[in-house]
Amino acid sequence: MHPIQHAAEHPDRPAIIMAQSGETLSYAAMDGLANRFAHWLREQGMQPGDAFAVYLENRIEYLPLMWGSQRIGTVMVPVSTHLTAEETAYILDDSSAKLIVSSDRFASLVDELRKLKPDLSMLIFGGEGSEDAAEALAAQRDASPSDMVAGYEMLYSSGTTGRPKGIKPTVPDPDPQAGPNPLVMVMTAVFGVPGDGTCRYLSPAPLYHAAPLRWCASVHRLGGTVVVMEKFDPEAALAAIERYEIDTSQWVPTHFVRLLKLPEEVRGKYDLSSLKRAIHAAAPCPVPVKQAMIDWWGPIIQEYYAGSEGNGMTFVTSTDWLTHPGTVGRPIFGELHICDEYGNELPAGDTGLIYWLAPTPFAYHNDPEKTASVTNAQGWTTLGDIGRVDEEGFLYLTDRKSNMIISGGVNIYPQEIENLLVTHDKVTDAAVIGAPDEEMGERVVAVVQPERMEDAGEALASELTDFLAAHLARMKLPRQIDFRSDLPREANGKLYKRKLKEEYAAAAD
């Protein structure tokens, strides 16, 4: 079904609840807001295929903006709120966005954008004059556009290894209410999400990412209630599960790490009995972290591996994971292949580049060279991840190809080191990179965010080195451990290692 139908049949059912504030939007109210935004876009001269950008915090209007865009054939481009004005301007130019929707929370960035792109139209929540979103939308009609045509969102990769890349999906059916929707079918048939409108789904991550946006949209297609956290906080997440009787939730490994570091008395304070599915993805989860979550929440942890490109997907239950620790599951979408550097397929057990034969094609927007670079002679595509498949067909991730460190001619995968570091009780987060080294080519450097910055120093560095030495070969041990109060990590769990590498390379120069 579609939110339009749910609004007609269950107008008073909550569609969106903001977790911390409790602000609520019913299906009828969401439908009206979506229609007003669609009319406003048309008033700006937007035609099917025209793009606009959204640079917003998690707020109750975010999802209605998407639904409004999808009724008139426009292309919504969500932008990470971690990006600078210059990086945002690049995405605006690359996507040919004709306007941007933002809020007064990002007033300084909006002012910088005005200088970079003086002709760019803006709609600002909390803005002034003709740019004020509340006033502009209130002037529009609640009724649906008479000639609806489906639009879509174009997501940009997080840019962890270079400029963000727009991922242009297959153009949808022109009827916005057409079905069935592939993700909805996977959610109900594979993940067990209720399809009768009773789902209460917690989304703790920013809505500009692929999984939060698309899974929230799919819950709306099922007639469920989406509970959106304004900002992730581990205890607030537990409180939201109890308060809203959440049955389905989606996380990234950094969420798990921070939940597990809560004091025992806080972890045991909340009733989590309503939770039936805790789904995670976006980044590899350290084995001890996932084991601890299963011990705490029970065998309700489900994992999938996929990318915004939509070329393949794996899935694993807690039961299968416990007998195959570290796996991200077996394919449920797309055909999986492991290949060597020349594109030759490797046998089970061998490590190589992960390729997919995708059921539907994708292309990077305005970048045919990038599209070609991830496609091999057989037409299979890769996201740049390295892994292996066992005899039973379970996939295990090793790391990203771009993250590999070559030190003294030896290949070292940082993920293994990072996974160990975050299990130390004095570590909140960690990034491991290769820094330039005259003798070895690259040396292993760990950049650590400690639980308490006052612990940072030589004593903790020595303690962490001893901790790692008990588990890793000598060649994998960091030759340098630095401390930071924060790491450049996206809220979807991905590290901007490129920024760290550039910093250390500049220091070496």
CATH number, domain containing residue 37: 3.40.50.12780
Condensed to tens digits (0 to 9), the pLDDT of residues 343-376 reads 899 999 999 999 999 888 888 898 888 889 899 9
Residue 452 and residue 430: Cα distance in Å, rounded?
14
Cα angle 194, 192, 283; round to 5: 120
User: What residues contact 267, with CB distance under 8 A and at least 6 apart?
Assistant: 238, 259, 296
Domain of residue 499 covers: 404-508
Of the residues 127, 151, 173, the one at which a domain ends: 173
User: Residue 162: what pLDDT?
Assistant: 61
CATH number for the domain including 490? Answer: 3.30.300.30
Indicate whether 441 belongs to any domain. Answer: yes
25-to-20, 31, 227, 454 alpha-carbon distances in Å:
14, 10, 11, 44
Phi, psi of 229 (to 5 degrees): -80, 130
Indicate whether 273 belongs to any domain. Answer: no
Of the residues 145, 173, 201, the one at which a domain ends: 173
48-to-148, 165, 178 alpha-carbon distances in Å:
10, 22, 17
The string of DSSP letters for 480-496 reads EEEE-S---B-TTS-B-
User: Residue 472: what pLDDT?
Assistant: 87
Indicate whether 149 belongs to any domain. Answer: yes
Question: Cα–chain-centroid distance for residue 393?
Answer: 25
Q: Which amino acid is present at 225?
A: T
User: Residue 277: what pLDDT?
Assistant: 98
pTM, to two decimals? 0.87
Work out the widest C-alpha separation in the chain, in whole angstroms: 70
User: Residue 191: what pLDDT?
Assistant: 97
Indicate whether 242 belongs to any domain. Answer: no
Tens-of-pLDDT digits for all 509 residues of the chain? 899 999 999 999 999 999 999 999 999 999 999 999 999 999 999 999 999 999 999 999 999 999 999 999 999 999 999 888 998 999 999 999 999 999 999 999 999 999 999 999 999 999 999 999 999 999 999 999 988 999 999 999 765 556 788 987 766 666 777 666 888 999 999 999 999 999 999 999 999 999 999 999 999 999 999 999 999 999 999 999 999 999 999 999 889 989 999 999 999 999 999 999 999 998 778 899 999 999 999 999 999 999 888 899 999 999 999 999 999 999 999 999 999 988 899 999 999 999 999 888 888 898 888 889 899 999 999 988 999 999 999 999 988 877 888 887 778 889 899 999 999 999 999 999 999 887 788 899 999 999 999 999 999 999 999 999 998 888 899 999 999 999 988 766 777 888 898 899 888 87
Of the residues 136, 158, 173, the one at which a domain ends: 173
Indicate whether 491 belongs to any domain. Answer: yes
Report cis status (omega within 30 of 0) of the bond before 450: no
User: What residues contact 131, with CB distance under 8 A and at least 6 apart?
Assistant: 122, 123, 124
Contact 331, 314 (CB under 8 A): yes
Which of 222, 277, 279, 272 is closest to 250 using CA atoms? 279
Residue 53 and residue 76: Cα distance in Å, rounded?
6
In total, how many domains does the chain have? 2
Residue 38 and residue 46: Cα distance in Å, rounded?
9
Indicate whether 234 belongs to any domain. Answer: no
Phi, psi of 300 (to 5 degrees): -105, 0
Indicate whether 65 belongs to any domain. Answer: yes
User: Residue 403: what pLDDT?
Assistant: 85
User: Residue 186: what pLDDT?
Assistant: 93
Phi, psi of 116 (to 5 degrees): -75, -35
Residue 81 and residue 23: Cα distance in Å, rounded?
22
User: Residue 159: what pLDDT?
Assistant: 56
Indicate whether 120 belongs to any domain. Answer: yes
User: Residue 141: what pLDDT?
Assistant: 95
